């Protein structure tokens, strides 16, 4: 499917979140998908992302101070709940230039709406429709059904619109994602915006390769077709900017929180690996007070630990492609319109590709061993030109996960508690993998 990408450009037709969200890159089809995705790619070079170090470290300092209190009180901490708040603070700051403190103020509207947006259940009729009766989608749409509750979606759309309006009217320039996207926006928009403000270009994008993730990037394969996607002249409409901002938020929030949860859990129940990781981090940090992208890029063992946690616990359990023409592979005929599912979770626990698959073993991703990993068996971020934009074009999210972990490991030891399940019971809620009963740990000051 990666090699014959022109036959597998799209996922299943799924325009159920309303006309505005039909503009989101994950839902777009064919040429429009190519146009929008190709605009997003050069926008988010990691050289520019480097400018966000300070914003991320600020949220992490807050996290460390909060965790300090929990450590002193010897309170058990549930990973998903904890990391949702810090992820939200980081996303609000780096994406929307909005400073919130959901770690200390869980009742604020942003935190509440984000949590509700993900509070769906497998038994929700909409998911039965989505996964079992996709041909019923147009009817569901007519009935006004939506995968994310309309009021929550409206909340984000309204907020993002207000931020964009403020930026364009006041010429305020911030180093966040909204600003980066505005730079790729049509200068005369039918919605009345005159022109997007110029973005500060004072930091050249010289560190792209170094700061992008070291291993995942290599294992999530692109293809020769990728270059032909490029349409750098395409400009986003206001609706397209808003839709991408909403989807980046929704797609990034839960996945990143899950990745941090599973990594923290894995380190709690593997204390020897945790100690080795802490030492390897200190070797890089030396006199640095705060981590930055350059430091993170040198932390190979941290990279291996993150990837191994994401292999064992991929936050997204499956993906799919729709075949747009009759196609044949080794005698297997796939009819036009068929949907091919990729069972990410199952592949990454298959003993044929990953010996002792249930064991957390970062050595699988060491510099020496990674070349032995069979292509397409590490699918946490999908594969090919339509893989996860957060992993590739934005290439910021793995560095964020790593920066949070560096802050935690330099200040605390992560220990299991009486509530820690070994092994962890997992639940797959509509394609997202969760710890069913929570992933509980305790933090001890170093
Ligand atoms: C650990 C974190 C993450 C994981 C595990 C993850 C996983 C995935 C997977 C499996 C896919 C489907 C890929 C395919 O079909 O081949 C995907 C697509 C996507 N992801 Fe992520 N993701 C993560 C973080 C993010 C973040 C932070 C963002 C946004 C800022 C994001 C935005 C997207 C978008 C927009 C798509 C659709 C891309 C397209 O259709 O062109 N993801 N992600």
Closest CA to 402 of 251, 246, 280: 280
Q: Place 153 in a pLDDT band, splitting at 50, 70 and 90.
A: confident
Q: Place 426 in a pLDDT band, splitting at 50, 70 and 90.
A: very high
Q: Place 161 in a pLDDT band, splitting at 50, 70 and 90.
A: confident
Instruction: List pLDDT tens digits, range 249-281.
Output: 777 777 888 999 999 999 999 999 999 999 999
Q: Is the pLDDT of residue 284 over 60?
A: yes
> Does the annotation place 395 within a ligand binding site?
no
Distances (CA, A) of 362 to 189, 233, 300, 301, 423: 49, 42, 10, 8, 17
Distance (Å, whole) CA 37 – CA 223 = 15
Q: Is the pLDDT of residue 195 over 60?
A: no
Mean pLDDT across 400-415:
95
Q: Is the pLDDT of residue 294 over 70?
A: yes
Q: Which residues have any ligand 1 atom within 6 Å of their CB?
A: 25-26, 37, 247-248, 251-252, 255-256, 259, 315-316, 319, 380-383, 386-390, 394, 397
Mean pLDDT across 285-294:
89
Determine the residue of 212, 311, 388, 433 to mutate for testing ligand 1's pocket, defined as the one with the most ligand atoms within 8 A of the Cβ atom. Answer: 388
Q: Which helix (H) or strand (E) holds 111?
A: helix 109-117
Q: Place 380 in a pLDDT band, splitting at 50, 70 and 90.
A: very high
Sequence ranges of the domains in the chain = 5-445
Q: Using the mean position of ligand 1's atoms as its centre, give its distance from the Cα of residue 219 in Å.
A: 15
Q: Which residue has the higher pLDDT, 165 or 119?
A: 165
Q: Is the pLDDT of residue 194 over 60?
A: no
Return the sign of the alpha-carbon dihedral for residues 377, 380, 385, 391.
Answer: negative
- In the structure encoding, which two tokens stand for residue 397, read together? 């999210």
List all residues 6 or more positions away from 438 whose beta carbon is below 8 Å from its beta carbon.
78, 79, 80, 81, 419
Q: Which residues pair with 415 in a beta bridge?
A: 442
Q: Which residue has the higher pLDDT, 426 or 250?
A: 426
Q: Which CATH architecture has domain 5-445?
A: Orthogonal Bundle (1.10)
- In the structure encoding, which two tokens stand for residue 189, read together? 């928009």
Average the pLDDT over each of 132-146, 311-325, 373-387, 397-411 and give the range with the smallest value. Answer: 132-146
Q: Which residue has the tokens 């626990």?
A: 349
Average the pLDDT over each of 169-178, 327-336, 405-414, 419-428 and give the range with the smallest value. Answer: 169-178
pTM of the model: 0.85
Q: Which residue has the higher pLDDT, 350 or 433?
A: 350
Q: Place 216 in a pLDDT band, splitting at 50, 70 and 90.
A: very low
Q: Place 17 in a pLDDT band, splitting at 50, 70 and 90.
A: low
Tell me which residue has its CA closest to atom 18 in ligand 1.
Answer: 388
Instruction: List pLDDT tens digits, range 87-146.
Output: 888 887 777 777 778 778 767 666 666 666 555 444 455 554 554 555 555 666 666 655
pLDDT at 240: 87
Determine the residue of 14, 246, 251 to mutate for testing ligand 1's pocket, defined as the one with the most ligand atoms within 8 A of the Cβ atom. Answer: 251
Tell me which residue has its CA closest to atom 39 in ligand 1.
Answer: 26
Mean pLDDT across 75-82:
91
- For the ranges 152-166, 173-187, 235-249, 376-390, the one whose mean pLDDT is highest: 376-390
pLDDT at 120: 46
Q: Place 368 in a pLDDT band, splitting at 50, 70 and 90.
A: very high
pLDDT at 202: 32
Q: Place 197 in a pLDDT band, splitting at 50, 70 and 90.
A: very low
Distance (Å, whole) CA 1 – CA 192 = 42
Q: Residue 432 carries which DSSP code?
A: E
Distance (Å, whole) CA 384 – CA 381 = 10
Determine the residue of 38, 258, 381 to mutate for testing ligand 1's pocket, defined as the one with the most ligand atoms within 8 A of the Cβ atom. Answer: 381
Q: Residue 357 carries which DSSP code?
A: T
Look over the chain and give the mean of its residue pLDDT values, rounded to a whole number.
Answer: 79
Average the pLDDT over each of 344-348, 368-372, 392-396, 432-436 and give the range with the smallest value. Answer: 392-396
pLDDT at 80: 87
Count of Cβ atoms closer than 10 Å to residue 12 Cβ: 15
Q: Using the mean position of ligand 1's atoms as its centre, give its distance from the Cα of residue 347 in Å.
A: 18
DSSP secondary structure string for all residues of 189-257: -TTS---PPPPP--S----HHHHS-SSHHHHS---THHHHH--TT--B-HHHHHHHHHHHHHHHHHHHH
Distance (Å, whole) CA 258 – CA 251 = 12
Q: Using the mean position of ligand 1's atoms as its centre, give its distance from the Cα of residue 125 in Å.
A: 24
CA 410 to chain CA centroid, nearest Å: 24
Q: Place 217 in a pLDDT band, splitting at 50, 70 and 90.
A: very low
Q: Place 204 in a pLDDT band, splitting at 50, 70 and 90.
A: very low
Q: Using the mean position of ligand 1's atoms as its centre, give its distance from the Cα of residue 390 in Å.
A: 5
Tell me which residue has its CA closest to atom 16 in ligand 1.
Answer: 382
Return the sign of the alpha-carbon dihedral for residues 320, 324, 330, 333.
Answer: positive
pLDDT at 117: 56
Instruction: List pLDDT tens digits, range 20-75.
Output: 778 888 888 899 999 888 887 655 556 666 777 888 899 999 999 999 999 999 99
Q: Using the mean position of ligand 1's atoms as its centre, give its distance from the Cα of residue 250 in Å.
A: 10
- In the structure encoding, which two tokens stand for residue 48, read together? 């520019």
Q: Using the mean position of ligand 1's atoms as its centre, give its distance from the Cα of residue 381 in Å.
A: 6
pLDDT at 188: 44
Q: Place 373 in a pLDDT band, splitting at 50, 70 and 90.
A: very high
List all residues 6 or more positions away from 370 whose beta carbon is below 8 Å from its beta carbon.
215, 218, 219, 364
């Amino acid at each position: 499917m990666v090699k014959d990408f022109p036959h597998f450009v799209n996922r299943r037709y799924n325009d159920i979140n309303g006309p505005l969200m039909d503009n989101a890159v994950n839902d777009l089809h064919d040429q429009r998908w190519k146009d929008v995705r190709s605009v997003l790619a050069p926008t988010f070079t990691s050289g520019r992302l480097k400018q966000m170090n300070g914003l991320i470290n600020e949220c992490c300092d807050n996290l460390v101070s909060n965790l300090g209190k929990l450590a002193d009180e010897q309170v058990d901490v549930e990973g998903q709940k904890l990391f949702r708040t810090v992820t939200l603070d980081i996303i609000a700051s780096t994406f929307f230039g909005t400073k919130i403190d959901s770690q200390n103020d869980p009742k604020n509207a942003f935190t509440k709406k984000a949590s509700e947006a993900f509070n769906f259940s497998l038994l929700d009729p909409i998911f039965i429709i989505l996964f079992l009766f996709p041909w019923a989608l147009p009817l569901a749409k007519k009935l006004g059904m939506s995968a994310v509750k309309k009021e929550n979606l409206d909340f984000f759309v309204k907020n993002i619109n207000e931020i964009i309006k403020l930026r364009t009217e006041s010429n305020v320039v911030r180093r966040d994602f909204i600003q980066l996207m505005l730079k790729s926006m049509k200068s005369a928009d039918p919605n009345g915006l005159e022109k997007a403000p110029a973005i500060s270009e004072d930091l050249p994008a010289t560190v792209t390769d170094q700061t992008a993730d070291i291993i995942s990037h290599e294992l999530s394969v692109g293809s020769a077709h990728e270059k032909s996607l490029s349409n750098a002249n395409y400009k986003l409409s206001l609706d397209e900017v808003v839709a991408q901002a909403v989807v980046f938020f929704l797609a990034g929030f839960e996945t990143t929180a899950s990745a941090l949860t599973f990594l923290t859990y894995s380190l709690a129940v593997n204390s020897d690996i945790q100690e080795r990781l802490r030492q390897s981090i200190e070797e890089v940090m030396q006199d640095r007070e705060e981590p930055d992208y350059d430091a993170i890029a040198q932390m190979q063992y941290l990279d291996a630990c993150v990837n191994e946690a994401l292999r064992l616990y991929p936050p997204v359990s499956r993906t799919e492609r729709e075949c747009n023409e009759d196609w044949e592979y080794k005698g297997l005929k796939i009819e036009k319109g068929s949907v091919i599912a990729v069972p990410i979770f199952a592949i990454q626990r298959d003993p044929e590709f990953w010996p002792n698959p249930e064991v957390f073993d970062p050595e699988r991703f060491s510099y020496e061993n990674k070349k032995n990993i069979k292509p397409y068996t590490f699918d946490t971020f999908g594969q090919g030109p339509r893989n996860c934009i957060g992993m590739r074009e934005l290439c910021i999210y793995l560095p964020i996960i790593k920066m949070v972990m560096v802050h935690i490991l330099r200040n605390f030891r992560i220990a299991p508690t009486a509530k820690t399940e070994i092994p962890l019971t997992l639940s797959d809620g509509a394609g997202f993998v969760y710890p069913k009963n929570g992933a509980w740990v305790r933090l001890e000051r170093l």
